[in-house]
Amino acid sequence: MAKLKLALYWAAACGGCDVAVLDINEKILDVANLADIVFWPIALDFKYHHVEAMPDKSIDVCLFNGAIRSSEQEHIAKMLRAKSKVLVSFGSCACFGGIPALANLTTRAEIMQRAYIEAPSNDNPNKTLPQTKVSVPEGELTLPELFDDVLTLAQVVPVEYFVPGCPPTVDLILKVVNALATNSLPPVGAIIASEKSLCDECDRKKEKKMISKIYRTHEIIPDAERCLLEQGLLCMGPATRGGCGALCVKVNIPCRGCFGPPPGVKDQGAKLISSIASIYETKDEKDIARMVDEVADPAGTFYRFGMSNSMLKRKRVQGK
């Protein structure tokens, strides 16, 4: 089999997914045997003009991580879609919006204001904000336009596969590499993880106990053997797809949902609210009000990684 052409790209990302690929350690040599990497900004010096020059569909597989929130990211997503036979939405940001999608609870104007003007460490007396076009003595400089909304990759271009995780685990990445090496990719549209919720993978004892108080994670040290939700911690397990090996729960912290909704669930937040409601024991209205108070940040917790993929997608702003 001729060497595959592989590309990796990052949009609104942190580099974690790219490092995760390198976390397969010596197996990266297998990848190098299997494929010629034709574009990978974190590791190789290929430029955008190299990609532009490639014929359509000449890239066999593109692993695209990061969410889409600027005109440049959208442009490169479309370019890589045209140049690639198979486009993989890699990591939680590309699949669901990820942490950058928390920006959907605010607006571009507020972000610019905070980052460039208000932040205490700034030295910007003229209150200059970045512009998409600026004239300098030598010529013109451009910057991409920032969107108000953070989008998933699939909300911008068609995608063949989804690999969730923040970052995807080494096991999952090796699954993808093996599938490529043996030409045995699943049917198009597949989410490469488990077909069950995290609770299924989690080893902890589930006693089907009801709870009457919700704790913030710093308020208690949970028992390492029992279900976290049953101990009153907000664990996204019931509303999250499995496949990660329950890594967070194994170190005694509750799941925050980075693998996205489980099969059959459209909205992680709605699912988690109904899961809590089903184990919460209340005596009266005051109890319920207290419990609601105990949930510190429902939107930011239930949609920590999945805001762009949720039903509401973003905070409503007046006049929009």
Task: Write out the binding residues for another protein, residues 78-117 only, by CB under 8 A.
Answer: 98-100, 102-103, 105-115
Q: How far is the CB of 2 from another protein (least distance, A)?
A: 26
Residue (30 or 72) nearer to another protein, CB: 72
Residue type, 44: L
Q: Which residues contact 308 (CB under 8 A, 6 or more apart)?
A: 67, 96, 97, 98, 101, 104, 149, 150, 151, 152, 155
Task: Tell me the DSSP string of 18-65.
Answer: HHHHHTTGGGHHHHHHHEEEEE-TTT----HHHHHHSPTT-EEEEEEE
- Binding positions for another protein, 7-26, rule CB under 8 A: 10, 12-20
Residue (29 or 289) nearer to another protein, CB: 289
Residue (182 or 316) nearer to another protein, CB: 316
Site size for another protein, by CB under 8 A? 91
Residue (10 or 161) nearer to another protein, CB: 10
> Quick one: which of 175, 213, 216, 226 contacts another protein (CB under 8 A)?
216
Give the SS3 label for residue 151.
strand
Contact between 316 and another protein (CB under 8 A)?
yes
Candidate ranges 78-86, 189-197, 198-206, 271-279; the one touching another protein (CB under 8 A): 271-279
Residue (121 or 182) nearer to another protein, CB: 121
Tokens 């929130």 — which residue?
A: 69
State phi, psi for 6 to the nearest 5 degrees: -120, 135
Q: Which residues contact 77 (CB under 8 A, 6 or more apart)?
A: 11, 64, 68, 153, 156, 157
Separation of CA 2 from chain center: 32
Contact between 217 and another protein (CB under 8 A)?
yes
Find out whether 308 and 268 touch, Cβ atoms under 8 Å. no
Residue (183 or 316) nearer to another protein, CB: 316
Contact between 63 and another protein (CB under 8 A)?
no
- Binding positions for another protein, 186-215, rule CB under 8 A: none
Beta bridge partners of 87: 62
Per-residue contact track with another protein, 133 to 172, x per CB under 8 A? ---xxxx-x-xxxxxxx-x---x----------xx-----
> Quick one: which of 24, 27, 34, 46 contacts another protein (CB under 8 A)?
46
Q: How far is the CB of 103 from another protein (least distance, A)?
A: 4
Residue (132 or 178) nearer to another protein, CB: 132
Residue (53 or 312) nearer to another protein, CB: 312
Beta bridge partners of 86: 61
Residue 193 to residue 162: CA distance in whole angstroms: 9
Q: How far is the CB of 126 from another protein (least distance, A)?
A: 18
Contact between 283 and another protein (CB under 8 A)?
no
Contact between 292 and another protein (CB under 8 A)?
yes
Q: Which two tokens stand for residue 50?
A: 């190299």
Find out whether 68 and 77 touch, Cβ atoms under 8 Å. yes
Residue (146 or 176) nearer to another protein, CB: 146
> Quick one: which of 56, 57, 130, 188 contacts another protein (CB under 8 A)?
130
Q: How far is the CB of 297 from another protein (least distance, A)?
A: 5
Find out whether 229 and 237 touch, Cβ atoms under 8 Å. yes
Contact between 279 and another protein (CB under 8 A)?
no
State phi, psi for 138 to the nearest 5 degrees: -85, -20
DSSP letter, residue 3: P
Find out whether 248 and 256 touch, Cβ atoms under 8 Å. yes
